[in-house]
Amino acid sequence: MFKLKATIIKDVKVLLRDKVGICFMFIMPILLVVVVTSIQNSTFQLVNKNRLPIIICNNDTGQSSKQLIIAIGKIGLFKVSQVKGDESEKSMADAMHQQDAMLGVIIPSNFSSKVSAKSKSIAGKALTSFGLQGETAKPAGDVDPLTIYYNPVLQESIRLSVQGALRSALQMTESRETLRSLYFSINEKELPESLENEMLNNKTAINEVPVSKDGTRSTPNATQHNVPSWTIFAMFFIILSLGGGIVKEKESGSFIRLKTLPTSYAVAMLSKQITYLGITMLQAAVIFSMGIWLFPFFGLPALNLPADFLALVVVTLICGWCAVSYSICVGVFAETHEQANGFGAVSIVILACIGGLMVPSFAMQGFFKSAANISPMHWCLQAYYTLFLEGGKLKDVLNNLIPLFIITLLFQFLTFVGLKRKNLI
């Protein structure tokens, strides 16, 4: 025990004097959490505050195009501005560039007349099928397509949302015209506005309810999503200090001396596990504290800690132990500092990617969805999400902790094999 204590004191002192290592373990992840949360918070607020700028070039003079523009404005996703111009792509590109718009829509000059003709045709068909009109409805051609221009930086998911929103506005415009035609054909007078609104405006509200295990109704936000995930990343980031430190020790003369002393190298390994497990717990405490007390000063939502604090500690401990075990394993097998740092840094980014820290694992396809299961970060993240977002308790995260524990034991076993193979224990 005395040897272990002396080794832990040595490791802590060496660590505290490594300013760059401390920077990697604390400052970098903290910056990462703040920056990513701030950016994602802006995305969360896209609908409410930061609307997508869209310019509309309306070459039509009829009512349908005006109603379409009003409908697009009412969606709430866009900041609409109108420009005059021709229907050319270059003209639209110039207009978008000048107004810094992400999207542009050109409404063709015959839009209203085509919508009107199509509506009358559909109304005629409907009346015929009801047996209310003798003459056959005249067939009408399709409405010319609307063309959407977009800035290539827009992600596909946002483009799909935009397309869905525009299709909804278009549907509303066409339905209005069809309804008016139908009403006029039957009653030979205009559809009253109040009735039109009643028939067209969707009055059925859609409520959003976050599902939680404890029945609480806290709404997920960028902080609740990002703080746990980047805390995990920070824990695994210790590979740069720990993995590199083990290689440095192996390369240095001190390692030669250690091998000649009457103490097993397993003591050194155990000391590193205890020391760095403490570091990972400290990292989590610092980042969570920032989320609770500092984020509101940056205009970010404050972090709400899970109600089951014991579960949070247990999950953090096992996540930290896994990160430490992985770092030691890499450090034992790496022959050079460059190998440990290079492989370590790249591997944690890959593990973070497939583990769902960068892209949610539910959005992954086929192979990558299965591959997520081999990433320890995936199980850490699922456990944290169960606690932070779903209000889960310790029993709810056991199915995440068991695979994480098995992966950790695997790293420990590999480390043991590596140490044995190198005749270090």
Partner 1 sequence: MAVTNALAVDVEHVGFKYPGNPDASFADLNLKIAKGERFGLFGPNGAGKTTLLSLMTGLLAVDKGHVKLLGHEVGGQNNEVNKLFGFVPQDFSFYDELSPVENFAFFGAWSGLKKQAIKKRTNELLDILGLDDVRDKQVKKFSGGMKRRVNLAIGVIHNPVILFLDEPTVGVDVQTRHAIINYLLELNKNGTTLVYTSHQLGEAEGLCEQVALIDDGKIVAQDGLNKLLKHYQEESLEHLFLKLTGKDYRD
Measured from the CB of residue 5, what is the shortest distance to partner 1 in angstroms?
A: 8
Query: Which of the stretches 7-15, 165-173, 312-320, 394-402 binds partner 1 when contact is defined by CB under 8 A?
Result: 7-15
In this structure, how many other beta carbons lie within 10 angstroms of the beta carbon of residue 380?
31
The span from the CA of 393 to the CA of 412, in Å, is 28
Place of tokens 């009653």: 187
The span from the CA of 409 to the CA of 405, in Å, is 6
Compare residues 79 and 259 and give the one whose CB is closer to partner 1.
259
How many chain residues interact with partner 1 (CB under 8 A)?
26
- Residue 409 near partner 1 by CB under 8 A: no
Query: Which string of DSSP letters, residue by residue, matches 59-103?
Result: ---SHHHHHHHHHHHHHSSEEEEEE---S-HHHHHHHHHHHT-SE
Q: Determine phi and psi for 412, rounding to 5 degrees.
A: -65, -40
| Environment class of 188 (CB within 10 Å of its CB; exposed 0-12, middle 13-18, buried 19+) | exposed
- Residue 20 near partner 1 by CB under 8 A: no
- Residue 6 near partner 1 by CB under 8 A: yes
For residue 396, give both structure tokens: 């709810």
Measured from the CB of residue 338, what is the shortest distance to partner 1 in angstroms?
A: 20
- Residue 310 near partner 1 by CB under 8 A: no
Measured from the CB of residue 265, what is the shortest distance to partner 1 in angstroms?
A: 9
CB 314 within 8 A of CB 394: yes
The span from the CA of 304 to the CA of 200, in Å, is 41
CB 395 within 8 A of CB 383: no
According to CB under 8 A, which residues from 236 to 275 bind partner 1?
Answer: 252-254, 256-264, 267
For residue 215, give both structure tokens: 């029945």
Measured from the CB of residue 262, what is the shortest distance to partner 1 in angstroms?
A: 4
Q: Determine phi and psi for 107, rounding to 5 degrees.
A: -95, 120
Query: Which of the stretches 2-10, 141-149, 345-353, 394-402 binds partner 1 when contact is defined by CB under 8 A?
Result: 2-10
Return the SS3 of 297.
helix
Compare residues 131 and 253 and give the one whose CB is closer to partner 1.
253
Compare residues 152 and 253 and give the one whose CB is closer to partner 1.
253
Give CA 356 to chain center in angstroms: 9
The amino acid that residue 132 corresponds to is: L
According to CB under 8 A, which residues from 148 to 187 bind partner 1?
Answer: none
Compare residues 197 and 254 and give the one whose CB is closer to partner 1.
254
Measured from the CB of residue 279, what is the shortest distance to partner 1 in angstroms?
A: 16
Residue 347, CA distances (Å) to 19, 272, 355, 359 in order:
24, 21, 12, 16
Compare residues 205 and 261 and give the one whose CB is closer to partner 1.
261
Measured from the CB of residue 345, what is the shortest distance to partner 1 in angstroms?
A: 23
Give CA 366 to chain center in angstroms: 19
- Residue 9 near partner 1 by CB under 8 A: yes
Measured from the CB of residue 286, what is the shortest distance to partner 1 in angstroms?
A: 23
- Residue 19 near partner 1 by CB under 8 A: no
From 13, 79, 421, 422, residue interacting with partner 1 (rule: CB under 8 A) = 13
CB 313 within 8 A of CB 339: no
Compare residues 263 and 336 and give the one whose CB is closer to partner 1.
263
Measured from the CB of residue 243, what is the shortest distance to partner 1 in angstroms?
A: 18
- Residue 215 near partner 1 by CB under 8 A: no
Measured from the CB of residue 29, what is the shortest distance to partner 1 in angstroms?
A: 23
Pairing between β-strand 78-83 and β-strand 103-107 as defined by DSSP bridges: unpaired
Place of tokens 């399709």: 142
Query: Which of the stretches 1-9, 128-136, 308-316, 337-345 binds partner 1 when contact is defined by CB under 8 A?
Result: 1-9
Compare residues 24 and 230 and give the one whose CB is closer to partner 1.
24
Measured from the CB of residue 43, what is the shortest distance to partner 1 in angstroms?
A: 43
Residues that bind partner 1 (CB under 8 A): 2-3, 5-7, 9-10, 13-14, 17-18, 252-254, 256-264, 267, 423, 425
